[in-house]
Amino acid sequence: MPLKIATWNINSVRLRIKTVERLIAEHDPDVLCLQEIKCTNDQFPAKAFAKYGYEHQAVHGQKAYHGVATVSKRPIRDIYRHDYCQMGDSRHVSVGLDVGGMAITVHNFYVPSGGDEPDPATNPKFDHKLKFVKEMRALRANSGDDDAVLVGDLNIAPHENDVWSHKQLLKIVSHTPVETEGLTRVFDEGGWVDLVRRHIPVDQKVYSWWSYRARDWSASDRGRRLDHVWSSPRVADQLASVTVLREARGWDKPSDHVPVIATLDLD
């Protein structure tokens, strides 16, 4: 049986729990990693997820802002939460899974968006984002016999075809050179494999986010690929498929992000 991992910035899990239930009903991921849940741990709809078989849960919530949660049908071996930049924000949680004879750590991230002005000297939010990404360089895809998967809303579109217009977005937060270079260092130094781009060639456009400001997001199609699934090379060798669920942007009460689903033949 394959392992299906989904990542989704849900933009309030309580507001969009019916939307999450639709994803579960139609795609049935084994592990679901949510970002921007916007609730404290005790407010998280744990019973709703348990009803669908997600009895194993790791929540790192925060009142009204940020927050990440990983729910799993597979047993979770351990849970770890790291406070990047020591800001007190809930932006990371990792869980340990034992799948197909492999010990896998699944990191779930919500990287700061960085505000509007791409200047760390005048914009503290952008400075925070760059420092956060710099700390992520300590992460490794392999650690001894253990492998890792890294998912989440990384709020950076690193490649030219990860945005609707490379030239027009070079000075727009999420695609500036300082951000893309920083994320590339995390990727290269950690020995990661980009599972989305392994499945969808880099010469093809692919997005996972469309702004709420667009009257017709699908017709204008001014998207960005902000949501990522990375893994160790050993895990990547077992990749069966990747789905970027574009149609979810048009569901009732949608998030501005859509789910990204990777299926791995690990069992």
Which residues fall within 8 angstroms of residue 212, CB to CB, at 6 or more apart? Answer: 256
178 near 125, Cβ under 8 Å? no
Q: List 260's β-bridge partners, or say none.
A: 7, 244
C-alpha torsion angle, residues 261, 175, 197, 68 (rounded to 10): -30
Q: What is the DSSP letter of 46?
A: H
* Selection from 172, 211, 239, 237 nearest residue 11 by Cα: 211
202 CB-side CA count, 13 A: 5
Q: Would you call 43 exposed, middle or buried from its count of C-beta atoms within 10 A (0-12, 13-18, 19+)?
A: middle
pLDDT given for residue 9 in this prediction: 98
Q: What are the tokens at 180?
A: 């893309």
Q: How far apart are CA 171 and CA 180, in angstroms?
A: 12
Phi, psi dihedral angles at 187 (to 5 degrees): -65, -50
Q: What is the DSSP letter of 67?
A: -
Phi, psi dihedral angles at 48 (to 5 degrees): -60, -40
- For the chain, domains (ranges, CATH) are 3-264 (3.60.10.10)
pLDDT along the chain (267 residues), means of 10: 94 98 98 98 98 98 96 97 96 96 96 98 98 98 92 98 98 98 98 98 98 94 98 97 98 97 92
pLDDT given for residue 185 in this prediction: 98
Other C-beta atoms closer than 10 Å to the C-beta of 81 total 14
pLDDT given for residue 267 in this prediction: 73
113 near 132, Cβ under 8 Å? no
* Selection from 108, 112, 159 nearest residue 132 by Cα: 112
